[in-house]
Amino acid sequence: MAVPGLFHRFRFHRFRKRAAAAVAAALALVAVAASPSAAATGQPSGPYTGMGTCPTSSTQMQDPNQAVVGCVVATIGGGGFSVGSTQVNFSSPMTVTFGVTWAKGGPTVTFPDKTTAQLFSTVTPTDGNELQAGPLDVPIPGLSNFWPGVTSAIVQIELAGPIANFAPLSAGENYPLFQLPIKLHLMNLFLGPDCYVGSDSAPIVLSPTAGTTSPPPPNQPVKGSTGTISIGRDPNGFRPMIVGFNGATLNDNALAVPSANGCGLFDTADWIVNLLFGLPSAAGHNAITLSSVTTALAVDNSDSDLINAINATRK
């Protein structure tokens, strides 16, 4: 709060001295340089930890038509996915980072308990790394995995489009928290560099919920968990609402998994991948669980206030 004070002192000085336009311009430059956003260095801390790449300066978030803007950081500590009979556990944490926007009159969904959740659009973080996930070593069915990458496929989960319909208020409801389009990049000596399951045009769309799923058979409904929810205020008196979800478990067992593409020379190995992993795999035969999910969400009705709030915690 000292910086606005400094700014006011400059303004007072300017009016009192009736300085020349050049001096005023210089003062304005100084004021800008001294503003929180420009002066801030280091990484955000406290409730904004991990939000250093939040795209608060993007045109989407600075659009005056936005009623709410925010920053999201989620860490997925465990879980796994199954495609047909192939089960893969996540061996390292994944991190999801993005900005969110909701324009006045934007999309909402109303639940049976009358809670009305805003469906946020997402904005790619400044470093472009919306989803950070480590590679997974996936055994090839029927083979003993003694040589990763040769007797197994190294699978990298990649984003296949923007995260959509982020609905924080759906926590606890039987409704997806967000929609995450992904593709699986399969890396194996014989599959070449462009072997994927799913694509940007036909992604695997994850719609995980902390509530209870409603899959087609043979899968059965499974119940997730919101974990512990906390609601906090900005430590420096700014306006953001800060929501934390700790230890949540999200499930989606209604997803379909498409065929492989780009595997082997001239896609000649697609059929092998499809055969080995039972692709395409219809909805009801696949599942993903995201466990130990910790999410920090800061939302505000003013992008500049959000910027100032984040910058005030930079160390």
Partner 1 sequence: MRTRTLALTALAAAGLVLGAAGQAGASTGGVLTVGSAGGTNANVGDTLTGAINSDFIFTTSSGTIDCSTGSFTAGVTANPAVGSGNATESITGLHADPANCSTTIGGTIGVVSVEINGPANGTVVDGSSPTLKVTNLDEQVTLASFLGDVTCDYGTTGSVTEIDGALSNVSKSISFATQNVNLISGSGLCPSSGTFSGGVGPVLDSSQSNQAVYVN
Chain residues that interact with partner 1, rule: CB under 8 A: 68, 70, 108, 111, 113-118, 168-169, 171-173, 210, 226, 229, 231-233, 241-243, 299-301
- Minimum Å gap between C-beta 49 and partner 1 is 19
The least distance separating partner 1 from the CB of residue 245, rounded to whole angstroms, comes to 8
Kindly state the smallest distance separating residue 118's Cβ from partner 1, in Å. 4
User: Which residue carries 């969400």 as its tokens?
Assistant: 297
The smaller minimum CB distance to partner 1, of residues 124 and 209, is found at: 209
- DSSP secondary structure string, 223-256? B-B--EEEEEE-TTS---EEEEEEEEEEEE----
Q: Are 184 and 156 in contact (CB under 8 A)?
A: yes
CA distances to 19, 31, 137, 143 from 28, rounded to whole Å, are 12, 5, 56, 69
- Interstrand relation of 152-159 and 131-132 (parallel, antiparallel or unpaired): unpaired
97 or 118: whose CB is closer to partner 1?
118
Q: How far is the CB of 252 from partner 1 (least distance, A)?
A: 18
Tokens 């020349």 -> residue:
20
Least Å from the CB of residue 309 to partner 1: 13
Instruction: Kindly tell me which of 270 and 300 has the beta carbon lying closer to partner 1.
Output: 300
Residues in the chain: 315
Residue closer to partner 1 (CB basis): 69 or 279: 69
Among residues 236, 241, 240, 209, the alpha carbon closest in space to that of 225 is found at 209
What is the C-alpha separation between 224 and 287, in angstroms, rounded? 13
Nearest CB to partner 1, comparing residues 94 and 299: 299
